[in-house]
Structure 1
Amino acid sequence: MNRQRSLPSLSASSDSATAKGNWRQFASPVMFDRLVGKLFWPLMLAAMLCALAGLALGLLILPPDAVQGNSYRILFLHVPSSWMAMIVYLAMAFWAIVYWILRTKMAAVMMQALAPTGALMAMLSLLTGALWGRPTWGTYWVWDARLTSMLLLFFLYLGFIALTRSITQQKRADQAGAIMAVVGAINVPVIYFSVMWWNTLHQGASISFKSGVSMHNSMFWALLLMVAASWLYCIAVALARARVIVLQREAGNRWARQRYASTVAQQQE
């Protein structure tokens, strides 16, 4: 009797290879450009809706606070911007580590794309904090541990932007920026834990894992909406900026020239 030898199935291995290919394709500048083109406006629209709802609730609907009066309303801008200033820098450090390990171009692009957005969030944190501090502490600025460390974070953002733009060779600029992003990330836990480590004027966190939420539910929902708006805005703007950086770096490739030509044609219509 002739026995037919069964051949091993290739479906599992081919599916695995396809899955890996699908994940890797997003590291391609072409696929990244297409992905951002589809995501930007939905993210921005969601950010605007969350911001409108949060501002309406926080600035117009909620009553004055029993202790701080109306000055507490600035916290609906101050808290999200402060959180995002720290989170964005940690994201920069993450992409710096990815760049060191994998040497992918997109990791370096994401580092540079995040920096201006993080600098904006840090500046908003400092400005809104000063506006809140004037009626609360009687002064716009004190050399408080949290304020000083946030100011240092703002300077780290500016230093990263200046460093990466002052080096003409792109690879060296990416390497120097990666080092600064990782080293500067040490300042982020200092900002967060400063009110616990030192005796400062800055009030403690109203939301924490240990004590939970120590604010009224209506205030919490307004803050949550503003945090969501900040997240969505930062993601959308950073992706859009990364898209521009990719086009600048890939300017010599055919797809980038076609992409630029199509954009110019759409603007002229």
Structure 2
Amino acid sequence: MSDKKWMPRWFYQLASPRWCYQITGKLMPGFMLAAVLLILGGVIWGLVFAPSDYQQGNSFRIIYLHVPSAFLAQSIYITMAIAGAIGLIWKMKVADMVAKSCAPIGASMAILALVTGAIWGKPTWGAWWVWDARLTSMLILLFLYFGVMALNSAIENESTAAQATAVLAIVGLVNIPIIKYSVDWWNTLHQPATFTLTEKPAMPVEMWLPLLIMVLGFYCFFAVALMLRLRNEIIQRERRAGWVRELLTDK
């Protein structure tokens, strides 16, 4: 049985840069509105109306930036690796563009997670940085993002660069479960996971609900940022195509 008999139609439509450019243009406004409303609502609720923590006081409120950025840094890496694998297996140019577009966004989220974690750690642990298993594995994640971006910049041939970065991204996936389970596998200063799918949150609902809203808002923000970078990448790579020339002429 050939791939085309069991793969959904949209999967092959995504292989078309023109179709991908058009569909992202239609999706962006909705995700942009959702990102603004969710992040604004989560920030106001979390910083103004959520009660202070009985142990950490108001310093815990940085959780509303730290946790969403940490979640997103890991999710973006997984997205990048999957896109890279699709590019390797099915030779889809758009998948390679998605993987390349993910790296700077993921690196930004990893930096935000590390910086907010350091700010939170100072009043909590008495130090800006400790070589804790969770912190160290998050730092490795940032270096993996830097490695992907460096490879993309160092290799001139786009196809070769996509293959090399895809292999690096796939190999680096081993770090994701280390980040997630580091607090369970080793004795660490970092607190256990704030959210789990199988257990009730330890925080009261008025504290974790704005956090959930912030997480959703960050994912919507990622969707917007990815689509913007992807559309720019499509225009750059397909600049000689007739439809791109027509598009630029109309503008």
TM-score by length of 1: 0.88
Q: Residue in 2 aligned with 1:162?
A: 150
Shift of 1:63: 2.2
Q: Residue in 2 aligned with 1:69?
A: 57
2:214 equivalent to 1:223: no
Structure 2 SS opposite 1:66 = coil
Cα distance change on mapping 1:217 and 1:92 into 2, 3 Å: same
* 2:122–2:128 contact (8 Å) kept in structure 1: yes
Q: What amino acid maps onto 1:56 in structure 2?
A: I
> What is the aligned counterpart of 1:110 among 98, 101, 120?
98
Shift of 1:45: 1.2
1:122-178 per-position Cα deviation (integer Å, ceiling 9, x unaligned): 011001001100110011111111001101101110110111121101111011011
Q: Residue in 1 aligned with 2:222?
A: 234
Q: What amino acid maps onto 1:253 in structure 2?
A: A
Q: What amino acid maps onto 1:179 in structure 2?
A: V
TM-score by length of 2: 0.94
- RMSD between aligned alpha carbons? 1.6
Q: Where in structure 1 are there 5+ consecutive unaligned residues? A: 1-15
1:243-265 per-position Cα deviation (integer Å, ceiling 9, x unaligned): 11111111111111222233xx3
Which deviates the most, 250-259 or 142-151? 250-259
Structure 2 SS opposite 1:27 = coil
Q: Residue in 1 aligned with 2:240?
A: 252
Q: Which of these two proteins has the greater Rg computed from alpha carbons?
A: 1
> What is the aligned counterpart of 1:182 among 167, 170, 190?
170
Which deviates the most, 46-55 or 60-69? 60-69
> What is the aligned counterpart of 1:138 among 120, 123, 126?
126
Q: Where in structure 2 are there 5+ consecutive unaligned residues? A: none
Q: Residue in 2 aligned with 1:194?
A: 182
Structure 1 SS opposite 2:203 = coil
Q: How many residues align?
A: 247
* 2:97–2:230 contact (8 Å) kept in structure 1: yes
Cα distance change on mapping 1:22 and 1:144 into 2, 3 Å: closer
Shift of 1:22: 5.3
Q: Percent of pairs identical after alignment?
A: 43
> What is the aligned counterpart of 1:121 among 94, 97, 109?
109
Shift of 1:105: 0.6
After superposing on structure 2, the runs of 4+ consecutive aligned residues of structure 1 that deviate more than 3 Å are: 19-23
CA distance in 2, matches of 1:41, 1:175: 32
2:24 equivalent to 1:42: no
